């Protein structure tokens, strides 16, 4: 009798543990507002990088043009 009660008690504890485990492991759903803000921030950073790349290309083009002028004047 005592063994049976102990086994039942262990069974209830296992059930409680299983319920707790599965309820605590629910997948978190992403917050749409947070995702929207992340996308907006990402786009802003891409715009900044795009602007920097354009600026670097313009600077590189000016340097190439200057080198061509120097080469022509030396020739």
CA distances from 6 to 1, 10, 15, 16, 19 (A): 9, 6, 14, 15, 20
- Tell whether the torsion through CA atoms of 29, 33, 36 and 41 is positive or negative: negative
Give domain status of residue 66, yes or no.
yes
Residue 64 has pLDDT above 80, yes or no: yes
Tens digit of pLDDT for each residue in 11-36? 677 776 666 665 555 666 778 888 89
Give domain status of residue 28, yes or no.
no
Give domain status of residue 7, yes or no.
no
* Domain around 67: 34-75
Please give the structure tokens belonging to residue 2: 């005592």
Give domain status of residue 74, yes or no.
yes
Q: What is residue 42's predicted lDDT score, i.e. its pLDDT? A: 94
Reported confidence tier of residue 52, pLDDT bands at 50, 70, 90 = very high
Reported confidence tier of residue 53, pLDDT bands at 50, 70, 90 = very high
Domains contained in the chain, number: 1
Give domain status of residue 65, yes or no.
yes
Give domain status of residue 70, yes or no.
yes
Give domain status of residue 14, yes or no.
no
């Amino acid at each position: 009798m005592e063994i049976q009660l102990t086994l039942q008690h262990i069974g209830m504890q296992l059930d409680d543990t299983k319920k707790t485990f599965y309820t605590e492991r629910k997948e978190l759903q992403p917050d749409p507002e947070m995702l929207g803000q992340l996308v907006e921030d990402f786009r802003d950073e891409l715009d900044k990088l795009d602007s920097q790349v354009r600026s670097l290309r313009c600077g590189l083009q000016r340097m190439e043009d200057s080198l061509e002028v120097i080469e022509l004047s030396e020739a």
